[in-house]
A and B are shown apart, each in its own frame.
Chain A
């Protein structure tokens, strides 16, 4: 082995990355060559010095939070895309969409024809609509004001009132800025209520732990979600695992559905 050849291999010699064939040749060369022996020793010391004097930087706390919030937002979008993709792939989906459009046309033609939920969720829907109108009038209490979804989630978590973690969604990619949130009563359950403001007005997101809750009849079902119109407010019910989410908007139902479909895709 020549010096030039060894100089290319010296790092591998230091790190034990030489092959079984190369190792005896390298050892023999170092034994005969003072300069390469010094080079080997210097690189061994240098590697130790790098280990001693270079260390891993800690990610700043605000950056870590930003990354985690971005992942949260990504998760929400990914789930919706997956559901919509699955729905669209079904053979009857286009027919269903055409049917839905026809139904929407009827709804537009007959404005008074608005579905109302029946059964146990009527109270919850009315509460959400009341919260929405209060928020529009700036008369709702926001216990924790922040535009950071991670901070609000921490607040909900600290409150101990809601037994789930995925309590806040970052809707910034859709143009909605978080204003804050509160823990409120929704029927007999505790719910998070996150308030967003965006290009289409206010958006309220209530979340409850309800693994067995079904969509009540009377809604319009699109892409795995259900849409209802209550007191002039459109409410989209959307399941995320064991958590049921109620997203409320003043947008007309057809527009809200379109917005959700367009926005999420």
Chain B
């Protein structure tokens, strides 16, 4: 097999399956659908261009996340969060995604309740400061280890630990605040399921 064919096959096998995860992480980082799409393309192109730098046997998703974060920093370092739009909501409310959130759920009331929790979770996540959101996206959503997340963000593991602890506390507060606004009195609203 020629080098180009081998590279193509390896990339298709190891990197392309993570495209949705890269896109999702980009949505959280940019908070904008079009920018997330551009960021995805830039990330995958750079990954392909520098595929020879990927170490086989290591976590390809973590490697892609590193490229994503570096690309994001390069592109958006001068932009304030106020400039970013909220078209992210459109992808959040895609009907097929809502319907597939829990395939085992058939009771309409359960589905509506679940969707409401999904929306509240998204809203609470988007309210987090960037450094806490990054840690939660990498560890809780992308399921990287602390070591991998530290590698992606270029910080010590201790920073990941404290950002996650603090970020989850902030997330919980945001969820409780939102639940109270909606008239839910339970303290652990998000322990319903």
Interfacial residues, chain A to chain B (CB-CB below 8 A): 7-12, 15, 17, 39, 42-43, 45-60, 63-64, 66-67, 70-71, 74-75, 78-79, 240-241
The one of B23, B41, B45, B121 in contact with A49, judged by C-beta atoms closer than 8 angstroms, is B121
Question: Residues of B contacting A12 with CB < 8 Å?
Answer: 146, 161, 164-165
A169 to chain B, nearest CB (A): 13
Tell me if B188 counts as interface (CB < 8 A to partner A).
yes
In contact, B165 and A59 (Cβ under 8 angstroms): no
> Other than the known A67-B44, A241-B5, what 18 A-B pairs have Cβ atoms closer than 8 Å?
A7-B165, A10-B165, A12-B146, A17-B161, A42-B188, A47-B168, A49-B175, A49-B193, A50-B140, A52-B117, A54-B141, A56-B20, A58-B97, A63-B41, A64-B19, A66-B41, A70-B41, A78-B4
Contact flags (1/0) for B11-37 with A, using CB distance below 8 Å?
100000001110110010000000001
Q: Which of B121, B122, B139, B164 has the most CB of A within 10 A?
A: B164
Total interface residues in chain B, CB < 8 Å: 50
User: For residue B152, which residues in chain A have a CB less than 8 angstroms away from its CB?
Assistant: none
> How distant is the Cα of A60 from the Cα of B41 in the complex, in angstroms?
12
A57 touches B97 (CB 8 A): yes
Chain A residues with CB under 8 Å of B120's CB are 53
Using known A-B contacts A7-B165, A52-B193, determine if residue A63 contacts B4 with beta carbons closer than 8 Å: no
Cβ contacts under 8 Å, B23 to chain A: 57-59, 63
The CA of A202 and the CA of B139, in the complex, are separated in Å by 51
In contact, B45 and A70 (Cβ under 8 angstroms): yes
Q: Does B24 contact A56, Cβ atoms closer than 8 Å?
A: yes
Interface residue from B48, B101, B139 paired with A15 (Cβ < 8 Å): B139
Shortest Cβ distance from A79 into chain B, in angstroms?
A: 6
A-B contact count (CB 8 A): 126
Contact in complex: A46, B45 (CB < 8 Å): no
Known: A57-B97, A78-B49. A45 touches B191 (CB 8 A): yes
A93 to B88, CA, bound (A): 53
For residue A209, give the distance in angstroms from its CB to the closest CB of chain B: 14
A58 and B168 contact, CB distance less than 8 A: no
Taken together as a complex, chains A and B put the C-alpha atoms of A8 and B19 apart, in Å, by 33
Bound Cα distance A56, B140 (Å): 12
Can you list 8 residue pairs at the A/B interface with Cβ under 8 Å?
A: A10-B165, A12-B146, A45-B188, A47-B140, A49-B190, A53-B118, A55-B101, A241-B2
